[in-house]
């Protein structure tokens, strides 16, 4: 993609509704984070990690047998 075609694309995006522009910005941020080897969690991902830690602290862990069953299902 040339610089000119990218600028044209961004001009068109600038006319989109704000919600859609924010989606594009988040997508670009994700790509940029991957290119820099630094991944930033989204709010949803951060919440899922926190739920997982809370479950772990409360002892809600899968047994060795349950883990083995999942791995065996996909082998």
Q: pLDDT tens digit string along 23-75?
A: 999 999 888 878 877 777 889 999 999 999 999 999 999 999 999 999 999 98
Residue 8 has pLDDT above 90, yes or no: yes
DSSP state of 74: T
Number of domains into which the chain is organized:
1
Q: What is the pLDDT of residue 13?
A: 94
Residue 16: partners with Cβ closer than 8 Å, 6 or more residues away = 24
Distance CA 56, CA 23 (A): 32
pTM of the model: 0.46
- The parent domain of residue 14 ranges over 3-73
């Amino acid at each position: 993609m040339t610089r000119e075609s990218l600028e044209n694309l961004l001009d068109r995006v600038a006319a989109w509704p704000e919600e859609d522009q924010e989606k594009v910005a988040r997508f670009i941020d994700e790509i940029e984070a991957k290119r820099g080897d630094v991944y930033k969690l989204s709010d949803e991902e951060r919440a899922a990690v926190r739920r997982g830690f809370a479950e772990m602290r409360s002892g809600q862990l899968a047994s060795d047998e349950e883990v083995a069953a999942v791995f065996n299902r996909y082998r």
